[in-house]
Structure 1
Amino acid sequence: MSRLLISRNSQLQRLIDDGYDIEIRSGHLLVHSVPYVTSNKQIALGVVVSEMSMATPDVLGRPSTHQVHFIGEHPCKADGSDLIQIRCQSAEFKLAEGITAQHWFSNKPQRGYYEDYYEKITSYVRVISSQAKALDPSVDARTFKTREPIEDDSVFLYQDTASSRAGIQRLAARFQKQRIAIVGLGGTGSYTLDLVAKTHVAEIHLFDADVLRPHNAFRLPGAVSREMLDRELTKVKYFSENYSTMRRGVVPHEVMIAENNVMELASFDYVFLCVDRGEVRQLVLRALEDTQVVVIDVGMGLNLTDDQESIWGTCRVTSSTPSTRAIALSRVPKADRDEELYASNIQVADFNCLNAALAVTKWKRMSGFYLDDHSEYESTFSVNLNQVSRLEAQ
């Protein structure tokens, strides 16, 4: 539990001062040792679990929902009948790693919302434990138990409350041990970084030696200032510095991948290959052929129509896994296509973003975050047809 979070939120400090046994874990607020009555009229201790909504990285906002989860049996009245006035749903709710609740409660205040977390927690504790107090007036959720604060080991510099509010913290944690490499930080590579950086991956290594130039700025996520361009940073240095305000583990490598360093990629779980040189694609795929590394290669092809009034073309995502090495190697371009419109640094940030999104969603499906019904090794989006096609291994 972050000491900083406690020190900056009087409502949390007030819960501690009142003697409540609270814990903050994986973006959730847990209140332990809440007395309740079981169906056989015995007193047990349960845990109230609430989401946490942040107004700023360190300051709680108003609760986003009036509902909570509960770990334990369903609380009952003193006579052993269910406490139905708070019942919402009973099931197995896997909220985060190590946090599985059995019940979902609803106790909406008259105004329709709770003003803060102190009001929300104490209201639920009062409703649940009042029945236990009817059997034994000495029981109390205010145990004044000392719980040693545990600093969050998250890569993020502030709480990922978006995942906890959506109830997908357990799924988001599937990326925690992964080490990712992104080769090429142009338009598609930079959007790939932007999407991957907002997951819980342990490390993201960036490989590119190019300097950030004005033409790059128009196809990167966010806005690059004139002052930043004047610093003439390499792209990887710029991105490492930029994303360090949000998270740890973004590591710049101011090099191009070549014969002398390609095997550095063998230490990663996934490699996003976001380059426009056919020889580099082939080099990486062949070098990693006998490893367990998954390579996700992206590519774009854009051309003007014959009357030069519109643009048509495709973006592609090809995945190379231990079981699809040969077919992936045959699918990725072997030569450069300098005659294509994209090679002229055309500004199509939307297409770069789409290509990156297709690659990242493929990675998330392979990681088990999204359901994957087809396990295709290649997908292609055609802009003129507004259609995605896929190729699956036979």
Structure 2
Amino acid sequence: MSRRPIARSPALRQLRDEGFDIEVLVGYLVVHNVPYVNEQREVKRGVLFAALRLNNDVALEPEDHQCKWAGDMPCQVNGATMQSLGPSSTPMTIAGHEVKWNFSHKPALTGRYTDFYDKMTKYVEKISGPAQAAQPGITAINHKPRAPDPEDSVFLYEDTASSRADIVAINDKLKPLKVGIVGLGGTGSYVLDYIAKSPAQEIHLFDGDGLEQHNVFRAPGAVSGEELDEELTKVVFHARTYGKMRRGIFTHPYAMTPDKLHDLEGLDFVFLCMEGKGKRPIVEKLEALGIPFIDVGMGITIHGESLRGQLRTTTSTPAKRNHVYEKNRIAFTTTDEINEYDKNIQVVELNALNAALAVIKFKKLFGFYDDDAHEHFSVFVVAGAETINEDGDE
């Protein structure tokens, strides 16, 4: 539960001050204890949900006229379905509540709600009207006190993107994870950008390099000249940047050498975003710890007056690791082959794509996305816009 949007939003404060039992959960405004009549003409209480629109945790005007409902279908006093609510059955779970219905009810005169006070009070009035006729004096107003916020979210403000898309329960699959990113170069920094916007409990950053002028051109966002003058390490800079929106980012400003491998213990997943040299002991340690990981890489060469190349994503889990060695899916040492990427050619869009492909696979492993191919090795060929998937489950 978060009280910050209630404290900062006049419409939400008005609901609270008038005695409605409200809270903000996973991007929804929740009104508890709304009385209604069910099909059996029983007076019961349900829970009303509306996806919030927030700016810096201040509630904006509602984007639509829809609400969700945990409870039986509200009915008239005679048990007839309240069709004016525009009900549709949409079962889902929101913050532990079994939501059964989606309502679509426009205000009769204006067709829109001016704010969330207007929206929720009109919905409550509509739903609870038959209950008040059947049981005079019953109300949604009870002035129930609520406990202080538990620290149940890593974000410093509400994640309203997930609630607007109705994927809160799916997103929560990532919530308990402790994720490591070894290497904060171009691809690693984009992996961080994507993972930081997930509810993962912890993100551990491993890199000993400094933030320098040439490598900021392969990183997300923009770095000022004054920030370059600070001579920060990559991990400190990126932790400071993403610390503006979330907690749980831990910095390890050193290379992952054999004497540091113990710092991988306790992680649930690791992204390896580094060159081949020094990678073998890390892989062996992750295997010994039973930690799944994804290794990324790219090869870019000059071809005439253009660039050609490919992006690689290698997945290793406790259930499937043999392909890494039998098919040489990970380059453990740098090769003598000319790789123009080593010259720091700025291919930021390929860094971002390589990271996106890795994070999509990571989310497949934890059930966020469906996974039909179950590939453990994937190559995207830039010139042909072709994806090759191999090493599926056996």
Q: TM-score range by the shorter chain?
A: over 0.9
Q: Distance in 2 between matches of 1:213 and 1:328?
A: 33
Q: Which amino acid aligns with 1:309?
A: E
Query: Counterpart of 2:281?
Result: 283
User: For 1:135-284, what aligned pairs fall within 5 Å after superposition?
Assistant: 135-276=134-275, 278-284=276-282
Query: Counterpart of 1:310?
Result: 306
CA-to-partner distance for each residue in 1:66-125, whole Å, 9 max, x for gaps?
10011111011111111111133124222x330221111111124332111000001111
1:136 Cα deviation after fit: 2.1
1:2 Cα deviation after fit: 3.6
Q: Distance in 2 between matches of 1:236 and 1:76?
A: 57
- Is the 1:263–1:288 Cα contact (8 Å) retained in structure 2? no
1:9 Cα deviation after fit: 1.3
Q: Which amino acid aligns with 1:205?
A: H
Q: Distance in 1 between matches of 2:148 and 2:106?
A: 31
User: For 1:72-83, what aligned pairs fall within 5 Å after superposition?
Assistant: 72-83=71-82
- Is the 1:211–1:233 Cα contact (8 Å) retained in structure 2? yes
CA-to-partner distance for each residue in 1:288-334, whole Å, 9 max, x for gaps?
222220110000001111xx211111000001111222212431113
Pick closer, same or farther for the CA change 1:332–1:232 going to 2, 3 Å.
Answer: same
The DSSP-based 3-state class of the residue aligned with 2:259 is: coil
- Is the 2:39–2:80 Cα contact (8 Å) retained in structure 1? yes
The DSSP-based 3-state class of the residue aligned with 1:331 is: coil
1:239 Cα deviation after fit: 0.6
Listed as ranges, the gaps of 5+ residues in structure 2 are none
1:393 Cα deviation after fit: 4.0
Aligned sequence identity (%): 42
- Is the 1:25–1:152 Cα contact (8 Å) retained in structure 2? no
Query: Counterpart of 1:115?
Result: 114
Query: Counterpart of 1:366?
Result: 365
Q: Distance in 1 between matches of 2:152 and 2:319?
A: 35
- Is the 1:70–1:103 Cα contact (8 Å) retained in structure 2? yes
Q: Which amino acid aligns with 2:98?
A: T
- Is the 1:27–1:52 Cα contact (8 Å) retained in structure 2? yes
Query: Counterpart of 2:339?
Result: 340
User: For 1:321-340, what aligned pairs fall within 5 Å after superposition?
Assistant: 321-329=317-325, 330-337=328-335, 339-340=338-339
Q: Which amino acid aligns with 1:172?
A: N
1:49 Cα deviation after fit: 1.1
Query: Counterpart of 2:316?
Result: 320
1:261 Cα deviation after fit: 1.3
Q: Distance in 1 between matches of 2:283 and 2:393?
A: 18
Q: Distance in 2 between matches of 1:105 and 1:58?
A: 25
The DSSP-based 3-state class of the residue aligned with 1:214 is: coil
Q: Distance in 1 between matches of 2:218 and 2:115?
A: 42
The DSSP-based 3-state class of the residue aligned with 1:263 is: helix
- Is the 1:188–1:274 Cα contact (8 Å) retained in structure 2? yes
- Counterpart of 1:298 (choices 276, 296, 299) is 296
- Is the 2:210–2:231 Cα contact (8 Å) retained in structure 1? yes
Q: Distance in 2 between matches of 1:188 and 1:74?
A: 49
Q: Distance in 2 between matches of 1:99 and 1:27?
A: 14
Q: Distance in 2 between matches of 1:99 and 1:336?
A: 53
- Is the 2:301–2:308 Cα contact (8 Å) retained in structure 1? yes
- Is the 2:3–2:24 Cα contact (8 Å) retained in structure 1? no
Q: Which amino acid aligns with 2:44?
A: A
1:379 Cα deviation after fit: 0.7
Q: Which amino acid aligns with 2:312?
A: R
1:387 Cα deviation after fit: 0.8
Q: Distance in 2 between matches of 1:180 and 1:46?
A: 38
1:375 Cα deviation after fit: 1.1
1:23 Cα deviation after fit: 2.0
- Is the 1:285–1:320 Cα contact (8 Å) retained in structure 2? no
Q: Say whether 1:98 aligns with 2:96.
A: yes
Moved more, 36-45 or 214-223: 36-45
The DSSP-based 3-state class of the residue aligned with 2:15 is: helix
Moved more, 184-193 or 22-31: 22-31
Query: Counterpart of 1:87?
Result: 86
Q: Say whether 1:16 aligns with 2:8.
A: no
1:36 Cα deviation after fit: 0.8
Q: Which amino acid aligns with 1:102?
A: K
Query: Counterpart of 2:39?
Result: 39
Q: Distance in 2 between matches of 1:332 and 1:383?
A: 19
- Is the 1:328–1:377 Cα contact (8 Å) retained in structure 2? no
Q: Alpha carbon RMSD of aligned pairs, Å?
A: 1.4
User: For 1:52-71, what aligned pairs fall within 5 Å after superposition?
Assistant: 52-54=52-54, 56-71=55-70
Q: Distance in 2 between matches of 1:287 and 1:271?
A: 11
Query: Counterpart of 2:27?
Result: 27
Q: Which amino acid aligns with 1:35?
A: P
